[in-house]
Structure 1
Amino acid sequence: MTMPDGAVAVSPRQELMPAAALFHSLSDATRLAIVQHLTGGEARVVDLTERLGLAQSTVSAHLACLRDCGLVVGRPQGRQMFYSLTHPELLDLLSAAQTLLGATGSAVALCPNFGTAGASPATGVEVRGE
């Protein structure tokens, strides 16, 4: 469908796709942990691997995802790369999420599709059939 001014009509679902992509980029616990750490300022991959106890390749892959989504940026200094958040509004989003989790008593953790109720305590991966 074409609008009178030449613009193409977009369905309400299509309008929400960028927001869905944003939330999907933040839907991984490792990426959230990286973002949370970066709220305190710049960090190198080595800082994040030590903090999170993860392999360098894992942290780098998650940083690449966050960078591709425009949420973090790398600043080279010599042979090192310092990562930081690109938009301070991300702090507001994280704060609002914490407020919402508090208001719901973290009920989202019980969600049968996305919650942590069926997750293994060691890995956070859902265990079915146990």
Structure 2
Amino acid sequence: MLRIFVAAGLVASAVVHVQLAPGYQQAAPGGLGQGTLFLIQAGVAVLAAVFVLLKGSRTAFAAAAVVALSSLAAVILYRYVQIPALGPLPAMYEPVWYVAKVVTAAAEAAAGGLAVAGYVLLQTSLPGSRPTARGRRRSASAA
């Protein structure tokens, strides 16, 4: 179930980004605009969702966490901090919250948090590891 919820959060974020991309690309119709970045984010989120669904490994959960939490960090950063254009990256400051932005931020936060939980749960249930006196896991070969 955890894999499904992580993937659902990533896909929800991707859907919102695809829906918003055309309106954000108008500022740079022929170049690397915010709309293009939204489509790239959506593609990466879908790939991470498929990866976590198919593999469910620590690597898949780590990838999902990186994608979700970096997207969340970007939406929060560009909401509160006015960063100028950096090289090919456009200035994306947008000091408002609206429904689509809240939905994607919530989906990214949920997916990121659940992906971190999945990563941690897999770490603590690795074969060949056993708890030490302090409750941490230690490899059986290190004992």
Give the alignment's TM-score, normalised by structure 2: 0.28
Q: Which structure shows the higher strand fraction?
A: 1
Structure with higher RCO (Cα < 8 A, 6+ apart) = 2
More helix by share: 2
